[in-house]
Amino acid sequence: MNNLDSELLRTFLAVAGTGSVTEGARLIGRSQSATSLQIMRLEEVIGRDLFERTGRGVTLTETGQRLMPVARDVKERLDAVLREITADGLRGKLRLGIPDDHGQAKLAKILSAFAQSHPQVELEVTCTISTDFPELLSRGRLDLAVYEVETIGRNEEVVFEDPTCWVMSRYRDLLAEEPVPVALFDRACWWREAALKSLEARGRPYRIAFSSQSVAGVTAAVEAGIAIGLLGRSTLAGHLKVLGNEHGFASTPMSKLVIGVAASANQDLVRTMKSAIRQAF
C-alpha cells in the first residue's frame, strides 16, 4: 500500500512555490536530479501528474492544486509538533530593536528562526531608525538592539564591519556641477557628521539636495542621479561609482553594526538571541 511521505510533500511544496524544479531543489538543498526523482515518486504514489512542464518552469495541474493545501497543512502540523517537542523551555519577553534599513532582511530571518526554535518566548520588536536605540536601551525601553556606530561603546558587541565611501551614479557626472549636490541623513547621527566633515575637508562647494531619515532614501537619491552620498560598501549596486582620493575625497570612517544590551535585560534570552545574530552575520 502506497503512503504519502512527508519529505515528498516538502519537495512538492518547494517546487510548487518556486515554479521551478531547479529553484525548488536549491531551496531544499538537494540536487536537481534528486528533486525530480522525488516528484516522480510522489506522482507514482498518487497515480496522476502534479505538474505541467513548460519551457519556463512548471505549473500545477488540477491534481496538484488539490494536493497543495493538504501538503501545506501536513508540513505546518509536523513543524509545529517538532517545535513543541524540542522546545528548550526558554520563556519570557524580549524587547528587540532592529534597524529599518541595514540588514533588515537578514534580521527578519533571524527573528523567524528564533520564534520557531523558542515558541514560548514573546518577542516585542521595534523596527525604526536605529539612532534612537542606545537611548532606549539606557532607559530600559529595549532589552537588546542592533544598530550602527562609528565607535564601539560600553555593552556593545560588533557583529559586522562595513567601510563607508562616497558614491554617485555612473550615468551622471555630478562632480562636474558646482556646488556638488549631496544626499544626507536629515537628523543628527554619526553618518551625517562624518559626511559633513568629509565635505568640509574636500574644500569644494556643496549643497544639500536631498535629505532622508533612512539609508534606503539616501541610496535612492544616489541611484537616481540626484546627488552623491556616503554609503556602506556592502550595500552598493553595480551602477554606482565609488569616489576616492582622485576625486578629492579622503577615507571615511568604518561603520560597525553592533548589538547593544540593556543592563536590566533577561540574560538567558539575550544570550540566546545574540548567539543567533552572531551566527547569521
pLDDT at 43: 94
123-141 confidence digits (pLDDT tens): 898 887 788 899 999 999 9
**Can you list the residues of the chain whose pLDDT is less than 50?**
none
Of 3.20.20.70, 3.30.590.20, 3.40.50.300, 1.10.10.10, which CATH number belongs to 6-86?
1.10.10.10
Give yes or no for a contact between 133 and 172, defined as CB atoms under 8 angstroms apart.
no
Determine the Cα–Cα distance for residues 6 and 85; give it in Å rounded to an integer: 18
Residue found by looking up cell 579622503 in the block = 250
Closest CA to 109 of 117, 212, 206: 117
Rg of the chain on CA atoms, in Å: 25
238-280 confidence digits (pLDDT tens): 889 999 999 999 999 999 999 999 988 999 899 989 988 887 7
Closest CA to 102 of 34, 56, 148, 165: 148
Determine the Cα–Cα distance for residues 236 and 240; give it in Å rounded to an integer: 7
- Alpha carbon distance, N-terminus to C-terminus of the chain: 47
Fold of the domain spanning 92-281: D-Maltodextrin-Binding Protein; domain 2 (3.40.190)
**Domain ranges within the chain, ordered by starting residue:** 6-86, 92-281
